[in-house]
Amino acid sequence: MICNKSDIDNLHDNGFILLKNVLESSQIEKIKKIIISNPEGKGVPENIYSTSFKSFLMKSIKVEFKKIINSLYFLHLKNQLKLDSYTSTFFNQKSKISQIDGYHNQKQESEILPWHCDQSYSGAKIVKKIKSPDDFGLKFFFYLTNVGPGNGCTSYIPGSHKIAYAVRSCMYEKKIEYQPYWSINDFVNLVNKKKYYPLIVDKLDSQEILNEFLQKAQNVILNKKTDLFDFSALPGDVLIFNEGGFHKGSKPTKNRRVVLRYIYKKILK
C-alpha cells in the first residue's frame, strides 16, 4: 500500500480516505475464512489477535496454536502493506499497533453501531481522569465483502474529527466540564451550549468549520435514513479513518459484512 502526500492530506482534512484494491483475491479469501470461523459480532475475545510477546505467550500456554498462526499472518500482512510507515507519516512521529481484530455480522435490518465518536469514554456519566486529546487511534478497515449506502459501510461525517479534537482539548485543559458526548445528539447539545461554543471556536480558529459540522450533524439527527455520508467499497478496499470523528456502522441489508481491522496509536511521551 503506497502512502502518498495526497492521501495523508485528505486524511488530515476529512478524517478518512478510501483506498481501492489493496488486497489480492487470495488474501481476501484467506482472511475472510479466518474471521468467519470465529463467533459473530464485535468485541468478542476470539476475534482479537496477538500483537505483543505477552499475548503470544498466553496463547502458547493455552495451546491456541491456530490463533498464534493467524496472528502471525496478520502481523506479516501489516508489514507487507507497510502500515507502520503509513501511520508514522500520518502522526509525524513513531506509532504502534494497539489492536488487530476481525469480525462479521449477518445480513440484518439494524445498524451495527449508531452515529458516535470513539475516545469519548463510551458515554460514561462520570469520568475521573480526562485523557490527552492526542490519545486517539487511526483505524484501517479492510472490507472483505461488498459494502455500500445503507449496506454495512462505515459512514463518516467529513471534518468531524477536528470538532471532536477541539472538545477533547478543552476538556483536557479543564475549560469544558466533562459530560457524555459519545452519541451525536449528546455531542451537539454540548457544543451548542453558550458557555462552550466560543471556547470550541477559539480552538478551531474558525466559526465556519464548527457551523458546517453542526449543519451536517443536524442532517443525520433529523433524517435517520440519509445516506449522504455513505460510500461504496468492494472486497479488498480499505477505509482509513481518524476514530475521533463521528461515524457509524450502517446496517448490512444486502449481504454479510466481514471486516479486518488494524488500530494504531501514536507513542505518547
pLDDT value of residue 2: 67
Sheet architecture: strand order including 154-156: 113-116, 247-249, 154-156
pLDDT value of residue 101: 96
pLDDT value of residue 4: 85
H or E element, residue 34: helix 25-36
Q: What is the pLDDT of residues 139-180, one digit of tens each?
A: 999 999 999 998 999 999 999 999 999 999 999 999 999 999
Which residue positions in the chain have pLDDT lower than 70? 1-2
Angle value at C-alpha 234, between 229 and 238, nearest 5 degrees: 70
Whether residue 18 contacts residue 140, with contact meaning beta carbons closer than 8 Å, is answered with no
pLDDT value of residue 86: 93
H or E element, residue 212: helix 207-222
pLDDT value of residue 52: 92
pLDDT value of residue 134: 94
Q: What is the CA radius of gyration of the chain?
A: 19
pLDDT value of residue 1: 67
Q: How far apart are CA 225 and CA 111, in angstroms?
A: 11
Q: What is the pLDDT of residues 73-107, one digit of tens each?
A: 999 999 999 999 999 999 999 999 999 999 999 99
Q: How far apart are CA 228 and CA 213, in angstroms?
A: 14
pLDDT value of residue 95: 93
pLDDT value of residue 156: 97
pLDDT value of residue 3: 73
The whole model's pTM is what?
A: 0.95
> In the chain, what are the domains?
5-158+223-266 (2.60.120.620)
pLDDT value of residue 30: 97
